[in-house]
Each structure stands twice: as structure tokens, then as C-alpha cells.
Structure 1
């Protein structure tokens, strides 16, 4: 049996603590791990919940080339897709914490969706999938 899975995706950030605060406050994410690696580096994993199968690995940009990519890791495309069981709750939370919404929520065949940008400018879809 094949037991492979994607466990983390690195997300370039300017600062660990500002990123933790924004994702915690605006998205309700939790810190799964925050370990000091020395030399100012940390291993910081955040996720929507402690039992999530997948986590973002916050990676502080190191040097000008990486710093230039903070907020544009996907070339302007939506790069992150956050599913929710309560669109109104999470949309309200995003607005309250200053997420930049690109459009009003819309209803699609697959569910309710809104595109927003995080504190760095990365584009996300907030999606409440339609019940199957």
C-alpha cells in the first residue's frame, strides 16, 4: 500500500511572529509547531486545526531573491484554497482582520467562494463547498 502524502507547503513570510498573528487572527489557524533552529531560523507549522492532515510551513525569506517573492509565490494566481463549513463566519472574520477581498462572495456550481489576499498579498480562495 502506498502511504505518501503532502505534509507541508512552505509559505515565504517577512517575519514569523507577524505571520503567526495574522493567520491566527484572520483565519483562525493554530500553531502546530514552533521550534528554534538557531541563527534566527525557526520551524513554524500552522494549520486550520490541530488535527489537520496538511500544514503551512512558514519560512522567513532569506536574502533579496526570496524577499522579492513574499506575497507573489504563485505569480499572481490564487495559490491557496481554504475550505470552510461556515462561509459567513469565516468571511466576517477575514473582513474584521483586514483581509483584502477582491470581490463580493459568489455562488458557483461547486459552492460559495470569495477571493482574498493575505497580509503579504498572496491570493486565496475561501470556499464553502456544496454538500454532495
Structure 2
């Protein structure tokens, strides 16, 4: 009997506005819009992908006070998402040129080269080139 074929495929990110967020992630991070489906009632299924990774970022528009309060701080100030690259220095320079706000200088860790940046809402991401 073989093990079940499972994976984490989609991560939801609470945002203030679908288009504002999708445009920022496309323009600044180079993500591609995979889906944009109108679900009615002002809701949409908007997903973004990076290359052929298979992972998807689902933009979930905040509704109500509780969700709106979490836009930009879904993890209490910890790094939330990880943008992996095969060339840290190339992509770090490109993101800086596009105005992405890094919170620190690049550093080498046991697991790779990394630097923390903030997205348009203040969520923290790692740009990381894993150690090979």
C-alpha cells in the first residue's frame, strides 16, 4: 500500500484589495495571476504563482473589523512567506530596484542566503537562496 499523495498547495493571504495586492505581487515579485474567478457578492478566487512551483498564493479580501485588523500582520510580526530563488544576489538587486523594502541586509545562515522584506501591507517575507 502506497502513501497518500498530499501537499500543501495553496496559502491564503488576507489583503485589503484584490487588484491592489495582485498588481503589487506581479509588478514587484514577478508572480503571475493564475486564476481570477468572480464568486459573486464581491468575492473572488484570485491566485498567484511563481514559475512552475505548484504552490499558489490565494488573495483573500478582508471582511469585517477582525479580518481588516490582520491585514499585514497575520503572524504577529514573524516572517510568513518564503520566496525561494536560485540566485539571491540577482533577485535581491532586482527587488531593490523595484522599490521592495528590505528590513535587513542579506545574511548567510546554515540553510542559505536570506534577507527579510515587507510586502505592500507589511507582511514579512524571506527572500532565500537555499544552501545546495
TM-score (norm 2): 0.93
Q: What's the CA shift for 1:13?
A: 0.5
Distance (whole Å) between structure 2 residues aligned to residue 130 and residue 10 of structure 1 = 27
**Partner of 1:14 in structure 2?**
16
**What are the superposed Cα offsets for residues 33-81 of structure 1, whole Å, 9 maximum, x if unpaired?**
11111111110011112x3221110001011110000000011111111
- 2:122 aligned with 1:118: no
**What are the superposed Cα offsets for residues 81-115 of structure 1, whole Å, 9 maximum, x if unpaired?**
11101112221222123222111111112211000
C-alpha RMSD of the superposition: 1.1
Contact 1:116 1:123 (C-alpha < 8 Å) held by counterparts: yes
Distance (whole Å) between structure 1 residues aligned to residue 36 and residue 9 of structure 2 = 16
**Partner of 2:83 in structure 1?**
82
**Structure 1 stretches lacking a partner, 5+ long:** none
Distance (whole Å) between structure 2 residues aligned to residue 71 and residue 21 of structure 1 = 16
**Structure 2 stretches lacking a partner, 5+ long:** none
SS at match of 1:103: coil
